[in-house]
Chain A
Amino acid sequence: MIDLLIIGAGLTGLWAGILAGQKGLRTRIIATGHGALHWTPGTIEVLGYLPGDPQPVKRPFEAMERLFTHRPHHPYRLVEPSALRAGLTAFQQVVARSELPYQGAMRAEENLFLPSPVGAPRPVLLAPQAQAAGDMRRSEPYLIVGFHSMRDFYPTVIAENLSKLGHHARAAWLSPDILTDRSDVNVVQLAQALDDRVVAQRLAAALKPLLRPGERVGLPAVLGLERHPEVFQLLEAELGAPIFEIPTLPPSVPGMRLAQALRRHFEHDLQGQVDLGMTVSGFQTHNDMVTWVWSQASARAVKHRASAFLLATGGILGGGFHSDHSGRVWESIFDLPLAIPQNRSQWFRPTFLAPEGHPVFRGGIRVDAGFHPIDDEGRVLYRNLYAAGNLLTDSDGIAERSLEGIAIATAKASIDHLFSSR
Chain B
Amino acid sequence: MSTFDWIPPEFTLDQCIKCNICVAHCPVAQVTDRFPGPKYAGPQAQRFRMPHQPSPDRSVDYCSGCRVCNEICPNDVSIMEMNAKARAALVAEQGMPLRNRLLGRNELMGKIGSYAPRLANFALHHPVSRLAASAIFGIAREAPLPTWSTTGTFLDWWEQHYPHRKRSHKKVVYFHGCATMYYEPFIGMAAVAVLEHMGYEVIVPPQRCCGLPMLSNGEFRAAEKLYDQNLEKLGPYAQDGYDIVGTSTSCTLTLKEEAPHLLDRHEVISRTLTGAVWDIFEWIREHEEELPQDFIDLSLTIPYHQPCQYRAHRVGRPSVDILRRIPGVTIHESGARCCGIAGTYGYKKEKYDIAMKVGEELFTFILEEETHHHTEFNACDSETCRWQIEHGTGQASRHPIEVLAAAYGLYDLEHRSLRNPKHAITS
Check if B30 sits within 8 Å of A189, measured CB to CB: yes
Is residue B23 contacting chain A, with contact meaning CB distance below 8 A?
yes
Instruction: Give which listed residue, B21, B274, B311, contacts A33 with CB less than 8 A.
Output: B21
Is residue B257 contacting chain A, with contact meaning CB distance below 8 A?
yes
Could you say which of A271-279, A402-410, A413-421 contacts chain B?
A: A271-279
Residues of A within 8 Å of B25, CB to CB, are 34, 188
Check if A192 sits within 8 Å of B30, measured CB to CB: yes
Instruction: Give which listed residue, B3, B75, B275, B277, contacts A296 with CB less than 8 A.
Output: B3
Check if A276 sits within 8 Å of B72, measured CB to CB: yes
Tally B residues with Cβ within 8 Å of A: 34
Main secondary structure of the interface of A (DSSP, over half): loop
Check if B24 sits within 8 Å of A33, measured CB to CB: no
Q: How far is the CA of A318 from the CA of B74 in the complex (A)?
A: 8
Check if A297 sits within 8 Å of B74, measured CB to CB: no
Check if A186 sits within 8 Å of B72, measured CB to CB: no
Check if B317 sits within 8 Å of A275, measured CB to CB: yes
Is residue A302 contacting chain B, with contact meaning CB distance below 8 A?
yes
Is residue B344 contacting chain A, with contact meaning CB distance below 8 A?
no
A319-B312 CB under 8 A given contacts A38-B24, A299-B277, A301-B3? no
Q: How far is the CA of A39 from the CA of B277 in the complex (A)?
A: 37
Q: How far is the CA of A397 from the CA of B72 in the complex (A)?
A: 23
Is residue A53 contacting chain B, with contact meaning CB distance below 8 A?
no
Least Cβ–Cβ distance between A222 and chain B, in angstroms: 12
Check if B275 sits within 8 Å of A251, measured CB to CB: no
Q: How far is the CA of A186 from the CA of B37 in the complex (A)?
A: 10
Bitwise, B289-329 to A at CB < 8 A (1) or not (0) is 00000000000000000000001111111000000000000
Bitwise, B246-263 to A at CB < 8 A (1) or not (0) is 000000010011000000
Check if A35 sits within 8 Å of B3, measured CB to CB: no
Name the residue of chain B whose CB is nearest to the CB of A9: B74
Is residue A138 contacting chain B, with contact meaning CB distance below 8 A?
no
Is residue A325 contacting chain B, with contact meaning CB distance below 8 A?
no
A182-B316 CB under 8 A given contacts A39-B19, A299-B257? no
Is residue A242 contacting chain B, with contact meaning CB distance below 8 A?
no
Is residue B160 contacting chain A, with contact meaning CB distance below 8 A?
no
Which residues of A, 260-315, contact B by the 8 Å Cβ criterion?
A: 273, 275-279, 281-282, 294-302
Name the residue among B20, B33, B75, B257 with the largest chain A CB count within 10 angstroms: B20
Chain A interface size, under 10 / 10 to 19 / 20 to 34 / 35 or more = 35 or more
Q: How far is the CA of A251 from the CA of B315 in the complex (A)?
A: 27
Check if A251 sits within 8 Å of B20, measured CB to CB: yes
Residues of A within 8 Å of B71, CB to CB, are 33, 276-277
Is residue B76 contacting chain A, with contact meaning CB distance below 8 A?
yes
Least Cβ–Cβ distance between A13 and chain B, in angstroms: 12
Bitwise, A21-53 to B at CB < 8 A (1) or not (0) is 000000000011111101100000000000000
Instruction: Give which listed residue, A256, A295, A301, contacts B24 with CB less than 8 A.
Output: A256
A184-B36 CB under 8 A given contacts A33-B71, A33-B74? yes
Is residue A341 contacting chain B, with contact meaning CB distance below 8 A?
no
Q: How far is the CA of A298 from the CA of B70 in the complex (A)?
A: 12
Instruction: Give which listed residue, B24, B73, B257, B274, contacts A186 with CB less than 8 A.
Output: B24
Is residue B1 contacting chain A, with contact meaning CB distance below 8 A?
yes
Q: How far is the CA of A125 from the CA of B315 in the complex (A)?
A: 39
Check if A302 sits within 8 Å of B36, measured CB to CB: no
Check if B19 sits within 8 Å of A182, measured CB to CB: no
Instruction: Give which listed residue, B24, B70, B277, B311, contacts A251 with CB less than 8 A.
Output: B24
Check if B313 sits within 8 Å of A298, measured CB to CB: yes
Check if A297 sits within 8 Å of B313, measured CB to CB: yes
Q: How far is the CA of A181 from the CA of B24 in the complex (A)?
A: 18
Bitwise, B60-75 to A at CB < 8 A (1) or not (0) is 0000000000111111
Instruction: Give which listed residue, B37, B72, B317, contacts A34 with CB less than 8 A.
Output: B72
Residues of B within 8 Å of A318, CB to CB, are 74
Check if B315 sits within 8 Å of A39, measured CB to CB: no
Check if B20 sits within 8 Å of A39, measured CB to CB: yes
* 29 contacts across the A-B interface (CB closer than 8 A): A32-B75, A33-B72, A33-B74, A38-B21, A39-B20, A39-B21, A186-B20, A186-B24, A187-B24, A188-B30, A189-B30, A251-B21, A273-B316, A275-B314, A275-B316, A275-B317, A277-B312, A279-B76, A281-B1, A294-B1, A295-B314, A296-B3, A298-B253, A298-B315, A300-B3, A302-B314, A302-B315, A302-B316, A318-B74
B interface residues with partner A (beta carbon < 8 Å): 1, 3, 18-21, 23-25, 30, 33, 36-37, 70-76, 253, 256-257, 274-275, 277-278, 311-317
Ranked 3 nearest A-B pairs via Cβ: A33-B74, A277-B71, A282-B1
Q: Give me 8 other A-B pairs in contact (C-beta within 8 A), A184-B33, A192-B30, A295-B314 excluded.
A: A33-B73, A38-B19, A182-B33, A186-B23, A186-B37, A256-B24, A278-B314, A296-B3
